[in-house]
Amino acid sequence: MADIILHNLDAILADRIRRVAETRGWSLQRTALHLIESGLFAVEAEMVGRFSDTDASALQEAIAALEHIPSDPGFSLIGRAEPAAPKPAGPDFSSLELLEEFRINTDPA
């Protein structure tokens, strides 16, 4: 493993590293390696998902081309739902016709 020497390390940063080492019960070397690796993972995670200018331009051109494709009644509706019909104001009496068969016949004929 290669040796790394840090010159002119800020006193506050050195103290922070020392406190992490004491808290974890690690040596300064192990702590420094852990912090470098953790920081490297964080920086690499920030870089994931970014496009180069060439890739970003190609993606924008592809999206623009897709936007000019005319809609069709089939595939263009996949995954799209029609908006729900608005409910009428007031109570719903649509089920009252089912009660007709239970009404008492008051007609003497």
Confidence at 39, pLDDT banded by 50, 70, 90 = very high
Give CA–CA dist 104/54, Å, rounded.
81
Give CA–CA dist 26/24, Å, rounded.
5
Give CA–CA dist 34/53, Å, rounded.
34
Of 12, 23, 20, which is closest to residue 38 (Cα–Cα)? 20
Task: Compute the average pLDDT of residues 59-76.
Answer: 81
Q: List the domain boundaries for the chain.
A: 11-69
Give CA–CA dist 31/26, Å, rounded.
6
Task: Compute the average pLDDT of residues 61-70.
Answer: 86
Tokens read off for 65: 């081309």
